[in-house]
Chains A and B, each alone.
Chain A
Amino acid sequence: MSVMWIYDKKLQFPVKIKRPDPRMARLIITQFGGPDGELAASLRYLSQRPSMVTPMAKATLNDIGTEELAHFEMIQSMVAQLTKNASIEDIKGSGYEPYYVDHGKGTYPVQAAGTPFSAKYFQSKGDPRTDLYENLAAEQKARSTYEYLLNLADDPDVIQPLRFLREREIVHFQRFGEALRYVQDYLSDKKRFSYGKMKK
């Protein structure tokens, strides 16, 4: 195999939205290119990988960083389907107009307020504990964002994938917390650390 990842031609969770809703598209786009969005999450974890000191933390960052790319694709699919059949009449007065004049119906990584994606949204500090603390906070911020989006959504076709994505942030938070505990054990007592002495 000569590539870093193999593309799997399916979504992690289905996105099948019947009703166009440019207003919701304009809000959901923030999880595509916003500060707590899926692209920032993926690049954050994948960028931090070499700083990780335990096998568990390396695998955790690698695999969650990869899963976030699948979420990036789900968000893109939601935005694309919410706008595909939207008429100009649907777009007028929906809040989608500023985005429309810059990007039409293209998916471009911006936050809901319109600022384009930036690597300034995350850190890679070279200290595994610091990075894992950032990741715990990042998962909570993403969970909050999904909750705010859910407060503003009314279509079950939109709500289902948003709920799935929210739940994944909770699982990721759990896994980063476990990885952090083992990193702390390792750093506080390098010599005694071994698989045989892992706590259950």
Chain B
Amino acid sequence: MMNRDELLKIISVLDFYALDLQLYLNTHPTDRDAIQKYNNVVKRAKELREEYERTYGMLTPQNISDSPWRWIENPWPWQYKFNFDLEGDECNVDL
């Protein structure tokens, strides 16, 4: 079981990977390998998002909530406490 920061870090990595592929695919729409990669990244990110949200609260408001309403929970992304430490290491994610 990953802790919150580990989970958030991997979701952030995968989301960034997906966004970078998305921009690439916008101008290379026939690159099948990149589409395959994109699909894998998005699927994995979705699973990890669900796992994160079950324990640590909502990442987007388009989601179910316990009571009281979890969307308003602290911390928010601009706060120091919200973010994970990078510690200069690279983050490799298996797909």
Contacts and interface: CB of A to CB of B under 8 A. Distances in A.
B26 interface: yes
B51 to A, nearest CB: 14
A13 B78 CA distance: 11
B78 A73 contact: yes
A70 to B, nearest CB: 9
A112 interface: no
A182 B80 contact: no
Interface string A7-28: 1111111111110000000000
Interface in B23-55: 23-24, 26-30
A7 B86 contact: no
B12 A160 contact: no
Contacts of B60: 6-9
28 contacts: A7-B60, A8-B60, A9-B58, A9-B60, A10-B11, A11-B77, A11-B82, A12-B12, A12-B15, A12-B16, A14-B85, A14-B86, A16-B80, A18-B80, A56-B29, A59-B26, A63-B19, A63-B22, A67-B23, A77-B78, A77-B83, A81-B78, A156-B88, A160-B86, A175-B23, A195-B29, A195-B30, A198-B30
A175 B12 contact: no
A10 B85 CA distance: 14
Contacts of B24: 175
Interface residues of A, number: 38
Contacts of A200: 28, 30
B64 interface: no
Interface residues on B, range: 20 to 34
Interface of B: 8-9, 11-12, 15-16, 19-20, 22-24, 26-30, 58-62, 71, 76-80, 82-86, 88
Nearest to A176: B27
A4 B29 CA distance: 24
A198 B22 CA distance: 18
B85 A179 contact: no
Given A11-B77, A81-B79, A84-B80, 20 more contacts: A6-B61, A6-B62, A8-B15, A8-B60, A12-B12, A14-B9, A14-B12, A14-B85, A56-B29, A60-B23, A63-B19, A63-B22, A63-B23, A67-B19, A67-B23, A76-B78, A156-B88, A171-B23, A178-B27, A195-B29
